[in-house]
A and B are shown apart, each in its own frame.
Chain A
């Protein structure tokens, strides 16, 4: 099973700041990686697919990069609605999720 490790577990930032979230895979997943956002009481929402492609309707402040085993989700300037939990997920070998990164207000 491919294990995805997300860091940090919690990121404390202020609105307007840049957020950088990491996802590391235990073996190469090529570019078969997605990022999701989940707010309390809501289902997850797909943000990025295939490592760097924004899903439909996702603002340009969200960007993804990486390939192989190391991936990054960047939020260029945090809006109030961006404070949430973010998960990465791979589909290279079966389907697994990372443990999540909570982006909270500092």
Chain B
């Protein structure tokens, strides 16, 4: 069974930094493209960032470009999101989400980690 477990969320002041992690198990992590998707409290879903299976291709939403950095360590079956210059509008539940075999949509999801940006 595929499991994605996020961690690293918490309360941070505006302008601060946080690093999120996503630990994957139950499948060959290194074969799958990964994403971060967030959901502000009571709001809809927003795609944040994508990374290819090898890590060579990366994309960001305009709202986080230049502030967030996605990375992965295939040896550790882990995905990361380094978030700098955080703003109040970054407050959200952050999900890691995986594509699956030949399916370029979000097929596997974690349960999310909550990031709150507030003074």
Contacts and interface: CB of A to CB of B under 8 A. Distances in A.
Interface of A: 1, 34, 36, 38, 42-46, 49, 55, 87, 89, 91, 94-100
Contacts of B61: 94
Nearest to B60: A94
B106 A100 contact: no
Contact of B106 (A44, A94, A96): A44
A96 B47 contact: yes
Contacts of A87: 44-45
A47 to B, nearest CB: 10
A95 B107 contact: no
Contacts of A1: 62
Interface residues of B, number: 19
B110 to A, nearest CB: 7
Given A43-B95, A43-B109, A43-B111, A95 B47 contact: yes
Nearest to A38: B45
A33 to B, nearest CB: 9
B46 interface: yes
B47 A97 contact: yes
A44 B97 CA distance: 10
Interface in B91-119: 95, 103-107, 109-112
Given A34-B105, A89-B47, 14 more contacts: A36-B106, A38-B45, A43-B109, A43-B110, A43-B111, A44-B45, A45-B109, A46-B107, A55-B103, A55-B107, A91-B105, A94-B47, A94-B59, A98-B44
B104 to A, nearest CB: 6
A55 B35 CA distance: 19
Interface string B11-51: 00000000000000000000000010000000011110010
A91 B112 CA distance: 22
